[in-house]
Amino acid sequence: MRKQRLGAIAAAAAAATLALTSCGSSGGGGGGEGDTVRIGIKYDQPGLGFKEGDSYTGFDVDVAKFVAKELGYDENKIEWVSAPSANRETLLETNQVDMIFATYTINDKRKERVGFAGPYFVAGQDLLVRADDSSITGKDSLDGKKLCSVTGSTSAENVRKDVPGVELVEQSGYAECLGLLEGGNIDAITTDDIILAGLAATDANKGKFKVVGNPFSEEPYGVGLNKESDKCEAINTAIQKMIDDGAWKEALDKNTEGTGYEPNAKLNPPTNFEACS
Amino acid sequence: MEGYLSLWDEYGSRIMESFWANLQLTFWAALASLVLGTILAIMRISPIPSLRAFGAAYVNIIRNTPLTIILTFGVLVLFGVFQLKLTNDFDLNFFQIAIIGLSIYHAAFFCEAIRSGVNTVPLGQAEAARAIGLSFLPAAWLVILPQAFRGAIAPMGNVLIALIKNTTVAIAGSVAEISGLMKTMLEYRADVGVLIFLTVALMFVIVVLPIGALVTWLSKRLAVAR
């Protein structure tokens, strides 16, 4: 008898929890359909798009906020959506997000499925090394070195193709690579310079690593859009405005503080925007 | 369609190479985990309490640890902290570490599959073996296990099929296998995204279906008639 009563209480408690959570999520999503904008960002890329509790930080996030404001959406009208690399095209095609700011390199294959505005930044593949390591100065000094990158990333492919003498560890995220780099098992991490700067700028890593600063590729980060989107022109105007009034530089400096990182000055700030269709 | 054909032009040889890596992982891990699983099964049916306890602890701990964690552990701890070098070939080292990880994990499942086979052997068989003077190991090796294996074909086939698919987790251990290449292809060939995914899925179906049929046939053919 006693056992039964306990079971009933547990069931009631479980039901109550379920009811509460479902209420919470619908309350968050339903607040003002139509006048919010859904923006896809990375949640796990410190310095670019990073989720900490309820707040979102990073350069992608700052540009997204600025652009959204120019389009008439205040910060509290933005719904952030996680946009992992492999899902970005699908999210846009199925209209689950309105725009994507997620280290999204513009290329022709992607243009077959989605539209792009921008670029708002031109990154380049670079190397992150331990702060006391001066043996690696760029792509040409990599022979026989051990590198780490993320499985399936453009950076991993580039290294595999262009630097045959290199030994490459592939991990699921840059955090794992950082652990190996700190322990001395690998010599460098390679991916886009601004991602590396963002990693090096986090509190836990400050002062331990440095970006080599000799980029060997061009990765124009665009704003991903649905092909039917009419926002392209307006976004380009907004990005131009952000660059002109200094907010762009400010955001960049803030998110890479303390790493000595300077973006490739020949390409940044970007000037050749995508032609909107 | 044209886009899809150009994908094969571009990546065809690497698709085959990567999938071959999965099959090699399967082969070596199946071999090693079958041996380890048999030893564990013998421990679990042995008359020595400490061995039984060890076998039970191994199975319960490993079976309840996610495979991804075991394989990530291989890279981040064995390679990262202890600088484990099984060979001087950088890539082969990860391959071998991944085989060890897969074997450790699946040994627990092979052990349980074999033990379920042992349960199909009537108790009288063990009693008769002891009655003619065989001690535990010869009794297990000559009388119990041969019958147990024949009874355990179907569950072992299931473990093998799970192992084939689980080799894709070796991506966590920095092995160049098919799911890693799938990520690369998705990154470069966004235009044929879904087809890439279906292609890889189909390759596994092609390998797994015949094995499933073979196992069913074998388990019927080899079943001990009682």
Peptide bond before residue A269 is cis, with ω within 30 degrees of 0: yes
Return the H-helix or E-strand segment holding B205: helix B193-222
Q: How is chain B split among helix, strand and coil, in percent rounded to 5?
A: 85, 0, 15
Q: The pTM is what?
A: 0.79
- Per-residue pLDDT of B22-42, as tens digits, reads 999 999 999 999 999 999 999
For testing the chain B interface, which of A170, A176, A178, A217 should be mutated: the one with the most B CBs within 10 Å? Answer: A170
Tokens of residue B122, six digits: 């009537």
- Tell me, what's the pLDDT at A28? 37
The DSSP-derived string for A89-149 is HHHHHTTS-SEEESS-B--HHHHTT-EEEEEEEEE-EEEEEETT--S--SGGG-TT-EEEE
* Alpha-carbon gap: A39 to the closest alpha carbon of chain B (Å): 20
How far apart are alpha carbons B78 and B74 in whole angstroms? 5
Length of chain B: 226
Which residue is closest to B94 within chain A, CA to CA? A169
- Per-residue pLDDT of B53-98, as tens digits, reads 999 999 999 999 999 999 998 888 888 888 888 888 888 889 999 9
Size of interface A-B (CB pairs under 8 A): 71
- Per-residue pLDDT of B119-170, as tens digits, reads 999 999 999 999 999 999 999 999 999 999 999 999 999 999 999 999 999 9
Contact flag B191-A113 (C-beta cutoff 8 Å): yes
For testing the chain B interface, which of A87, A114, A149, A169 should be mutated: the one with the most B CBs within 10 Å? Answer: A169
Query: In CATH, what is the architecture of B21-177?
Result: Orthogonal Bundle (1.10)
How far apart are alpha carbons A158 and A108 in whole angstroms? 17
In this structure, whether the domain defined by A125-211 belongs to CATH 1.20.1560.10 is answered with: no
Reported confidence tier of residue A5, pLDDT bands at 50, 70, 90: low
- Tell me, what's the pLDDT at A24? 39
For the segment A72-101, the average pLDDT, to the nearest whole number, is 90
B contacts of A85 (beta carbons < 8 Å)? 186-187
A contacts of B183 (beta carbons < 8 Å)? 86, 151-152
A contacts of B184 (beta carbons < 8 Å)? 151-153, 156-157
List the A49-52 sheet strands across, edge first. Answer: A44-45, A49-52, A55-57
Q: Using the Cα atoms of residue A150, residue A153, residue A158 and residue A161 in order, give the sign of their dihedral.
A: positive
Contact of B7 with B195, CB cutoff 8 Å: yes
Contact flag B76-A179 (C-beta cutoff 8 Å): yes
Which has the closest alpha carbon to B163: B215, B128, B223? Answer: B215
Contact flag B189-A109 (C-beta cutoff 8 Å): yes
Contact flag A152-B183 (C-beta cutoff 8 Å): yes
* Alpha-carbon gap: A150 to the closest alpha carbon of chain B (Å): 9
Which residue is closest to B85 within chain A, CA to CA? A185
- Per-residue pLDDT of B167-202, as tens digits, reads 999 988 888 889 989 988 888 887 887 899 999 999
Contact flag B190-A109 (C-beta cutoff 8 Å): yes
A contacts of B94 (beta carbons < 8 Å)? 169
Is the CB of residue B56 less than 8 Å away from at least one CB of chain A?
A: no
How far apart are alpha carbons B148 and B114 in whole angstroms? 6
* Alpha-carbon gap: A86 to the closest alpha carbon of chain B (Å): 6
Per-domain residue ranges of chain B: 21-177
Could you give the angle at the alpha carbon of B112 between the alpha carbons of B178 and B163, nearest 5°?
Answer: 5
Contact flag A152-B182 (C-beta cutoff 8 Å): yes
Between B180, B181, B186, which is nearest A86 by CB?
B186
* Alpha-carbon gap: B158 to the closest alpha carbon of chain A (Å): 28
The DSSP call for residue B14 is H
- Tell me, what's the pLDDT at A159? 86
Name residue, tokens 């085959």.
Answer: B16
Domain ranges in chain A with CATH number 3.40.190.10: 37-123+219-255, 125-211
Query: In CATH, what is the architecture of A37-123+219-255?
Result: 3-Layer(aba) Sandwich (3.40)
- Tell me, what's the pLDDT at A21? 46
Give the residue with greater pLDDT, B189 vs A147: A147
Complex confidence, ipTM:
0.75
Between A112, A154, A171, which is nearest B174 by CB?
A171
